[in-house]
Amino acid sequence: MQTKEMIVREIRAALEHDPRINLHSHPISVNITDSALVLEGEVENIAAKRLALKRATAVNGTKSIVDKLRVIRTEHKGDGAIRDSVCRFILGEPALRNCAVLARIKGQSEVQRDRGLEPCGQIEVAVEDGVVTLTGEAASLSHKRLAEVLARWTPGCRDVVNKLKVVPHQEDNDDEITDTLRMVLERDPLIRDAGQILLRTRDRVVTLQGLVKTQEERKAAELNAWYISGVEDVINRIEVQS
């Protein structure tokens, strides 16, 4: 039977083995309590966070995971400024135009927009220590995922806890992930021509192909894929035009 120390060593080895997780620049604390495995630290980006959780979960003997990993801030902003920015992103998103939006301010819900003529859910935004929490209801999985991506795009955001419930219930699948990512790429101002990027999802692994003009676009496309909840891995075969 594996001891806690053996499991921790195995997890650390798995994290070290993945080149996309830079433990030297961004150390991750690995601890095992009586009830769960705890991962804590600041990581470089969303890919490192998702991969660290995946690698740790794959280790034999791992129990439930307490996720305390946070992405390093691109900008230092207060919680109120982050909350207001997330609300503006959601309010400005055409796909969510009939969704009610509320902001959690000093323990109270303040309406930013009532439901539209064709109601499609309600999203409440709260922020604590740079972590955005989304609660309420979404009309589809794509709406739920899109709201999370908008929150993760917000400068100052360190993580997102997405508690939105999809009503009515919707079964997830690879096509749903692909469709949502396509929508996200089309909205990212860093990507000049999303139509040049080909997408395929199989068993929750996203493959990106095509041509872009800059390394910045290539990196942005990959990070956007990692932003989509439920993605297990991303294979980036996008080429940069010379």
Q: Spell out the per-residue pLDDT of the chain, length 242, in tens.
A: 678 889 999 999 999 999 999 999 999 999 988 778 999 999 999 999 999 999 999 987 776 899 999 999 988 999 999 999 999 999 999 999 999 999 999 999 999 999 766 778 999 999 999 999 999 999 999 999 999 999 999 999 999 999 999 999 999 999 999 999 999 999 999 999 999 999 999 999 999 999 999 999 999 999 999 999 999 999 999 999 97
CATH number at residue 191: 3.30.1340
**What pLDDT is stored for residue 74 in this prediction?**
85
Q: Do 158 and 179 belong to one domain? A: no
Residues 6+ apart with CB under 8 A from 134: 123, 124, 125, 147, 148, 151, 160, 161, 162, 163, 164
* CA dist., res. 109 & res. 93, Å (int): 21
Q: What percent helix, strand, coil does the chain show, rounded to 5? A: 35, 30, 35
Q: Do 85 and 149 belong to one domain? A: yes
**What pLDDT is stored for residue 169 in this prediction?**
94
Q: Do 202 and 145 belong to one domain? A: no
**What pLDDT is stored for residue 162 in this prediction?**
98
Which of 133, 166, 199 marks a domain boundary? Answer: 166
Q: How many domains does the chain have?
A: 3
Residues 6+ apart with CB under 8 A from 108: none
CB atoms within 10 A of CB 176: 18
Q: Do 55 and 88 belong to one domain? A: no
**What pLDDT is stored for residue 161 in this prediction?**
98
Q: Do 148 and 183 belong to one domain? A: no
**What pLDDT is stored for residue 112 in this prediction?**
96
Q: Is the dihedral of CA 63, 66, 68, 71 positive or negative?
A: positive
Q: Do 121 and 154 belong to one domain? A: yes
Q: Do 148 and 130 belong to one domain? A: yes
* Confidence (pTM): 0.93
Q: Do 120 and 184 belong to one domain? A: no
Which of 108, 133, 166 marks a domain boundary? Answer: 166
- Domain of residue 110 covers 79-166
Q: Do 49 and 95 belong to one domain? A: no
**What pLDDT is stored for residue 4 in this prediction?**
86
Which of 54, 71, 88 marks a domain boundary? Answer: 71
